[in-house]
Amino acid sequence: MRSPAELLDRLRREGTRGGEQPAFIVASVLRDAAIVVVGAERPDVVRACAMHAAPTLDEGLALAGDLARASLPPGEAGRELRLLVVPHAIRTLPIVAA
């Protein structure tokens, strides 16, 4: 699919087949938040999936903060940010910035 919205539309129309549930969940999250994947062996694949890639945890957290601040309304740039850090079993660390 060309975008998370396109994937969600197709999955809602046709239903999910075996193995597509994780894609549905990720596309649903991407509708409202950015996902930063840290330490991916193939950052090009991460970017092709509409997510952001960062080589290290520190860079991933900084990128997540930048993305979250950029999404704030004008005048709220100093607002406290909350980041959800979710460890993944395969040497990657997705960070969701809402």
For residue range 9-25, list pLDDT tens digits in order.
Answer: 998 899 888 878 888 88
**Is there a single domain that holds both residue 48 and residue 26?**
no
Host domain of residue 13: 1-31
Residues 61 and 77 sit within 8 Å (Cβ to Cβ)? no
**Is there a single domain that holds both residue 44 and residue 22?**
no
User: Which stretch of 7-21, 46-60, 69-83 has the lowest confidence by average pLDDT?
Assistant: 69-83
**Is there a single domain that holds both residue 25 and residue 51?**
no
Mean pLDDT, range 42-54, rounded to an integer: 90
Q: Which string of DSSP letters, residue by residue, matches 30-94?
A: HHHSEEEEES-S-HHHHHHTT-EEESSHHHHHHHHHHHHHHTSPTT-TTS---EEE---SSS-EE
**Is there a single domain that holds both residue 92 and residue 46?**
yes
Distance separating alpha carbons of residues 76 and 23, to the nearest angstrom: 32
Distance separating alpha carbons of residues 12 and 79, to the nearest angstrom: 36
Distance separating alpha carbons of residues 6 and 12, to the nearest angstrom: 10
**Number of domains present in the structure of the chain:** 2
**Is there a single domain that holds both residue 85 and residue 51?**
yes
**Is there a single domain that holds both residue 44 and residue 79?**
yes
**Is there a single domain that holds both residue 61 and residue 93?**
yes
**65 confidence band (pLDDT: 50, 70, 90):** confident
Given a cut of 90, whether residue 53 has pLDDT beyond it is yes
The whole-chain average pLDDT of the chain stands at: 81
